[in-house]
Every structure is written in C-alpha cells, then in structure tokens.
Amino acid sequence: MPRKVYVVDDVPTNIELVEAVFKNDPKVAIKKALNGKELFELIEKDGTPDLLILDLMMPVVNGFEVLKQIRPMRETQYFPIIVLSALTDKQSIIKALSLGSDDYITKPFFVEELKARVNNMLKLKERDEFLSETLDVMESNLFEKLRMLEQSQLEVIIRLGKAAEFRDDETGRHIERIADYVHTIAEVMGYHKDLALMLRYAAPMHDVGKIGIPDNILLKPGKLTPDEFRIIQLHTVIGGRILGGTTLPILELATEIALSHHERWDGSGYPLRLSRGSIPQSGRIVAIVDVFDALTSHRVYKAAWSIDKAVEYIKEQREKMFDPEIVDVFIECLGKIVEIKQTKSDQTHVKPIIQQILDGDVSIEEFIERSR
C-alpha cells in the first residue's frame, strides 16, 4: 500500500512540482491542501499522513500554527514533517525545528534532494511503526505473564485457605462462603472494587493458623477446657506467623485478618484484646461473617443453628462482640448473605475425613479413590 504524503502549500504550482517528483513512485500517494485549515479537514476525512510536507507562509492557518496545533496528534500517532519553505533566515528555521519539524528544505529545491529526504523520513516512519508494534507485543506478553503470575498467586492463596479448613470441614465451602460474604459487605460499605476484590481473596485465610492446632483439641466434640481454649486461641498468632513477613499486599491483608478476626468490639477478644477502632476494619468484617457461618454450619462438636437464631445472636452482640455499623450493613445485606449460604451450602453433614478414617467409617483406599 502506498504511503500517504500530505503536501500543504498555498501556491498550487508548488504542489504540482512535488507531485511531479513522485509521479512514477508507486510507494507514494500525494494528497494536497492549500492551507492549514484544509490540512486539518483532510486529516479529519482521511486520517493522519505517513509524512507531511509543509509550507510556512500561508493564509488562514500558517505553517507555524499548524506545527503548534498538530503536536498533540503526533504524540499518539507519530508521523514525520518536512518543512518546504522560501524562508531562509536562521530564526525561521530554528523556530520550525523547535516546533516539531523533522527536516527543513528551502525553496527552490533540488528534485533529488527532496526525493532523498522524503525517502529517509518514510524509513523513519517505518522504524517507528516497527518499534511501536514490537513494544505492543512485548507489553501484551508482559501483561499476560503478570496476569498468569497473579492468577498463580491467587490459586496458591486459595489452596492455602482450603488446607487449613480441611482440618474440620472437608467440603471447604466455608471459606468460599466467607469470601462471598465479605465481598458483598465491602461493596455495600463503598470499598473500591480492587480493595473489595483483594479482601475477597484474603479473607478465606483467616483460619490458616488452625494448621498448627492439634487434632484432639481442634476436633474435640465436647466442651474445651480452659487450657485447650487457650491453645485454640493461638491459631490467630500462628496464622499471623504463617502469612506475615511478606511484601505482597494481599498477604499483608490476610495477616491482618488472621490476627484480628477474633478481637471483640468491647475489648474482650483475642489475641491482643483490641477494641473498637483499634481493630482493623477487615478483621471486624470477617468476625461477623465468620461467626454467622460457623453458627449456621454443622460441625462434629455442634449442630447447626437456624439462620434466624444466628441473626438474632449477631444483633444481640452489636457493640459487644461486633462493630455496630458493620452489623447494620450485615443486616442490610442479609438477603444476599442467605442466598450465598443456600447456594454454597455443605452438601452433607459429615465428620472431617481424617476423623472418619480414624473411626473406621472410611478406609484409606476409599479416600484415595474419592480424591481422584
């Protein structure tokens, strides 16, 4: 396809001279305008040129004004400019070059000189296009690699959360529900979409510290002794140790949640006995939805509560265990919360798989077959 060369000169004879130079060149297609106004109309109609040959002394809009007005356009879609003018004074040449002209030829011109300079400028345009395409491909590849890396990180994070939850909930649906609950509340609270999404992925790691709690305590069907309860409380600190010491924002947020989701609004929680606004908001949000989901879920040590009973308990704990404003948002979102609970319900009420194996309900061979 021939290159579009726009020639702007208020003297038609001068344009005809340029046309004659490239008459037999199939690589060049000349388009003409008699002043700056007509040039901008031509650009509006046919798009930007591959090369602009511009006179300076013209009526309506002169060449200097064209150079000023066209500069923003060239920042997004570059094309070279050759000034072809009868002005030979040093001041005019410097002014044209400082306004963005790539070359300056004085009239009258030598045919071969004009040809050579036009060809050089078109090669410059080709190089610019090649570099732009190369950079686009590189940026696209980089974006894809960053997206894959981000997806890999999220996948590892999700698996980490499931690893902890597997200890006492083999379906792993608890952490799926927590993620959805938290995201719903964050959106209603006006969180920026990126932060709400990050909270969604960080929240499921709230109990990752359960990995460090012995089974005989974590899975105990009866009431815990004071010493056993103190050991259970350590899962917040263990979670903070597992997730902490990172520069990844999502893991920093997960660390904050792991450490703070058992703190209480009145200061009677654990592990640091924080109260009110000193508890990170992320932990205050997770605290409510974690309690709601735990109460309404069957576990080896307890039967599931009804949704109504759990909601009444959360209302009772307003300004005691929970941030009152977040309780209000939770109630506002209750329809969506219940929908999530029902859509992602645990399929069956079963003992954790390890306990089933220990009790002889499931053989190791059955477990392996089930996992394929």
**What is the pLDDT, as a whole number, of residue 350?**
46
pLDDT tier for residue 171 given thresholds of 50, 70 and 90: very low
Q: Is pLDDT of 37 > 50? A: yes
Mean pLDDT, all residues of the chain: 86
User: What average pLDDT does range 260-276 have in this prediction?
Assistant: 96
Secondary structure of the chain in HEC code, one letter for each residue: CCEEEEEECCCHHHHHHHHHHCCCCCCEEEEEECCHHHHHHHHHHHCCCCEEEECCCCCCCCHHHHHHHHHHHHHHCCCCEEEEECCCCHHHHHHHHHCCCCEEEECCCCHHHHHHHHHHHHHHHHHHHHHHHHHHHHHHHHHHHHHHHHHHHHHHHHHHHHHHHCCCCCCCHHHHHHHHHHHHHHHHCCCCHHHHHHHHHHHHHCCHHHHHCCHHHHCCCCCCCHHHHHHHHHHHHHHHHHHCCCCCHHHHHHHHHHHHCCCCCCCCCCCCCCCHHHCCHHHHHHHHHHHHHHHCCCECCECCCCHHHHHHHHHHCECCCECHHHHHHHHHCHHHHHHHHHHCCCCCCCCCHHHHHHCCCCCHHHHHHHHC
Measured in whole angstroms, the distance separating CA 324 from the mean position of its chain's CA atoms is 32
What per-residue confidence (pLDDT) applies to 347? 54
Average pLDDT over residues 30-52: 93
Q: For 79-119, write each residue's pLDDT tens digit.
A: 999 999 999 999 999 999 999 999 999 998 888 888 899 98
pLDDT tens by residue, 321-369: 999 999 999 999 999 999 999 988 765 444 555 566 667 776 766 656 6
pLDDT band at 245 (very low <50, low <70, confident <90, very high): confident
263-286 mean pLDDT? 96
Q: Which residue has the higher pLDDT, 126 or 188?
A: 188
pLDDT the model gives residue 124: 85
Q: In whole angstroms, give the CA distance from residue 366 to residue 350.
A: 15
Name the pLDDT band for 143 (thresholds 50, 70, 90): low
Residue 203 has pLDDT above 70, yes or no: yes
Query: pLDDT grade, residue 170 (50/70/90)?
Result: very low
pLDDT category of residue 130 using cuts at 50, 70 and 90: confident
| Residue 344, Cβ density class (10 Å: 0-12 exposed, 13-18 middle, ≥19 buried) | middle
What percentage of the chain carries pLDDT values higher than 70? 84
Looking at residue 212, its pLDDT comes to 87
Identify the pLDDT of residue 103. 92
**What domains are defined for the chain?**
3-138 (3.40.50.2300), 166-371 (1.10.3210.10)
Residue 27: CB partners within 8 Å, gap ≥ 6?
2, 3, 122
* 100 token code pair: 């963005």
pLDDT score recorded for residue 349: 43
**185: DSSP letter:** H
pLDDT for the residue 300: 65
pLDDT over 90 for what percent of the chain? Answer: 53
Of 303 and 316, more confident: 316
- pLDDT exceeds cutoff 70 at 190: yes
Band of the pLDDT at 169, cuts 50, 70, 90? low
